[in-house]
Structure 1
Amino acid sequence: MGTNNAAAATASLRSSYTSLRLAILVGLCGGVPRIANLDAFLGDVVVSKTIIQYDYGRRYPGRFTVKNTVEDSLGRPNRDIRGLLAVFETELMRKRLQKEASEHLKHLQKTAGIQRRRAHYSYPGTAEDRLYSPAYAHKHRTSCDLCTTSDAFCESASEASCTVAGCSSTNLVVREHTVEEANFSPEIFIGRVGSGNTVMKSGEDRDRIASTHNIIAFETEGAGAWDEIPCIVVKGICDYADSHNNEAWQDFAAATSAAVAKAILGRYIVRDGDRVFSPG
C-alpha cells in the first residue's frame, strides 16, 4: 500500500520489461456511493480515466489545497488508453464489457470452489451492503467511555464490526438493489480516481473531496504507478470510504476487479508498426 511503494515497484517492473505498453493495477478501493446520478454498490468496479493525488498539496491555516497545476498534474493517459476507455464509455460496449466480466467472475468462483481456496469469492448478499449517513460515525454506542464521552479516536471501535460497535440501522441510507444475488454482474464506472497515502475513512470528507474534484473512488496505489508507466486502475468497491468497518466484501470485490481487468485485456489491441495484435 502507498503511492511511494507503488512507484518503486512499478519502476522496477519497467526496468525489467522495457517494451511494456500497459499496466493494469487491480485491487480494492473505497467507493463513492453516488456516481453520475447512479447508485454504486459494494462489488461494483471503478476504472480510472484520470487520477488525482488528493492528499498532495499545501496546508494553510484552516484549509488544505490540493496541488493540481500543470506542473504538479499526473497528466492524462496515452492515446491508446484514451481510445480504449472512450469505447468502453459507450453504452453498448460497457454492457458487453460487463457481460464478459460476469462470465469471468463465474469461472473464477467455480474454479476457486473446485480448488478449495481459502478466499471466499461468493457474493456476500445485499443484507451485508450497508451504507450509513455520512455524518454517522462508527464508534461504540455503549460500554466505552472514550466513545460515549468524547470525539477522540478509539482504535478498538475502528477494528470492530458495526454489529459489535452497535451502529443503529435507523441511520442506514435506504437504496434499492436491483441485482439478482444468484447472478451478480458488477456495474462498471469510469472516471477520476482519488489516490493518496492515507486511507479514506470519513463519510463527510469523502463527499466533500469527491464533490470538489469529481472523484468516484479512493485508493492508495494508483498515483505511484500512473506516474511511471501507461496505467489503468481497476478497483473493486469493498467499502464506502467511511468509518464503518466491513471486511466481508474484500474477497468478492477483488474477484470482480480481476474479472473486469480480464475483460479489458480481451478488448485491448496492441499496435506494433503495421502489425496489430489482439488478445485471445
Structure 2
Amino acid sequence: MPLRRLNHDAYKVGWICALEIEQIAAMEMLDEEHEPLPQPENDTNIYSLGSINDHNVIIVGLPSMGNCSAATVVTQMKMTFPNLKYGLLVGIGGGVPIETDAGMIRLGHVVVSKPTGIHPGVIQYNHGDAMLGILERGGALAPPPIVLLNAAREMAVRRHRREYDPIWENTKRIPTGRRALRRFGFPGADKDHLYQPHYEHQRKAMSCQESGCDPRQRIERQIDEEDDSYIVVHRGTIASGGLVIADAQKRDSLAQEHGLLCFEMEAAGVLNNLPCLVIRGICDYCDTHKNDVWHGFAAAAAAAYARQLFFHLPIQEAQR
C-alpha cells in the first residue's frame, strides 16, 4: 500500500530523539508512516513523517548528543515545517532514586517535565558547575506548552481509572521477538540494582557482576511485582546539561537542593527554540555503575508514554 503524502503545513508536532535506539522506538509507535517531503538545501535533517490518532508527527534524530546539536536540528525543522507548534523530546535519562507521589524512581520508569515551584519543568546546568553543586535557576527555559501539560494530566487521571496500563500495552508495539529489537524487552526487576552513593564501580567497561562490585553495597528495595505490567510515571523537574552526570553523591546533593527527578543532555537546546514536553525513560541512576541493560526498555517506555499522549490531545489542536 503506497504511503500517504501530505504537505508541510499539515505537521504541527515534532518528536525529537537524540539516539538511534530512541528513534527506533518512536517509529514503532506510529499508526501510519507518510511519504517524505522535499526540504530546503540548507536543512540537513532527515525526517520520518507519520501520524498517531490523527495527529501528524515529524520524527527527527540528532546527529550527535547535546544541547548545541538539538538547537540546530530544531531551528532547521521550524524552517521546513512552518506550522510546527510544539515538540516532544523523548528518550532515555538518568534517574534520581527518590520517592515521589508515584513511589520510588526506578529503572524503566518514566519522568516527564512539569513546572514545580520556581522551576519551569527543566533547568540547565553545565558539567563544571554541576560538579561544584551549581545549577542555573530561573525562567530562561520555557515551560511545557499548556496543551501538553493538560494532556499529561488527563492521561494520569484516566490511567488510574483503567484496569490495564495503556502505556505498558504501547511498549508491546515493538516486536521484541525479532533479533534486532530484543534489547527493547523488559529486563526484569531483578536487573535493577542501586548501590550506596559512596560505592564506586570497580572496573570500567565491565558489568557490575563481571567487575566484582560487592552485592552487599546494594540498597535493598522492595520489588513490586505489578511493575512488570505497569509503567510508573513521575512528573517534575528535569536537569539538562552538556555532559553526563556519573557521580551518585553529587546527584543526590543537586537533586535535594533543586528538587530534581532526572538528568539529561538535550532539553536546554530544544527549549530555547521550541516549546516542548520532555519525556525520559530511566536507564541508570547517574552513578558509576551505568550499563546498557536498560537502554532499550527505557527508550520503549518513554516512546510508549509519548504515543499515549496523542490520545489525550484535542484533535482540533493538531488540525488548526
Counterpart-to-counterpart distance in 1, 2:91 and 2:163: 18
**Residue of structure 1 aligned with 2:186, choices 120, 123, 128:** 123
Name the CA shift for 1:117/1:32 in 2 (closer, same or farther; >3 Å).
same
Q: CA deviation digits over 1:240-274, x for unaligned, max 9? A: 111102211111111111111101122112545xx
Q: Which amino acid aligns with 1:107?
A: R
In the TM superposition, residue 165 of structure 1 has moved relative to its aligned partner by 1.9
Look up the match of 2:291. 246
Counterpart-to-counterpart distance in 1, 2:216 and 2:309: 40
Number of residues of Structure 1 aligned to a counterpart in Structure 2:
249
Structure 1 alignment gaps of length 5 or more: 140-156
Counterpart-to-counterpart distance in 2, 1:58 and 1:8: 24
Structure 2 alignment gaps of length 5 or more: 1-64, 115-120
Residues 145 and 277, structure 2, Cα contact 8 Å, conserved in 1: no
Counterpart-to-counterpart distance in 1, 2:247 and 2:138: 26
Q: Which amino acid aligns with 2:312?
A: R
Counterpart-to-counterpart distance in 1, 2:230 and 2:278: 19
TM-score normalised to structure 2 length: 0.70
Look up the match of 2:263. 218
1:269 aligns with 2:320: no
1:106 aligns with 2:172: yes
Look up the match of 2:71. 7
Aligned counterparts, 1:174-193, within 5 A: 174-180=220-226, 183-193=228-238
Q: Which amino acid aligns with 2:107?
A: L
Residues 133 and 254, structure 2, Cα contact 8 Å, conserved in 1: no
1:81 aligns with 2:148: yes
Identity of aligned residues (%): 31
1:202 aligns with 2:251: no
Q: Which amino acid aligns with 2:69?
A: N
In the TM superposition, residue 112 of structure 1 has moved relative to its aligned partner by 3.8
Counterpart-to-counterpart distance in 2, 1:58 and 1:126: 34
SS in 1 for 2:84: coil
Residues 155 and 312, structure 2, Cα contact 8 Å, conserved in 1: no
Aligned counterparts, 1:218-237, within 5 A: 218-237=263-282
In the TM superposition, residue 166 of structure 1 has moved relative to its aligned partner by 1.2
Look up the match of 2:7. none
Residues 98 and 187, structure 1, Cα contact 8 Å, conserved in 2: no
Name the CA shift for 1:258/1:64 in 2 (closer, same or farther; >3 Å).
closer
Look up the match of 1:23. 87
Aligned counterparts, 1:42-191, within 5 A: 42-49=107-114, 50-55=121-126, 63=132, 65-70=134-139, 73-88=140-155, 90=157, 92-93=158-159, 99-108=165-174, 111-113=175-177, 115-139=178-202, 157-180=203-226, 183-191=228-236
In the TM superposition, residue 105 of structure 1 has moved relative to its aligned partner by 1.1
Deviant stretches of 4+, over 4 Å = 56-59, 92-98
Aligned counterparts, 1:30-45, within 5 A: 30-36=94-100, 38-45=103-110
In the TM superposition, residue 117 of structure 1 has moved relative to its aligned partner by 2.6
Name the CA shift for 1:56/1:83 in 2 (closer, same or farther; >3 Å).
farther
What is the aligned-residue RMSD (CA, Å)?
A: 2.6
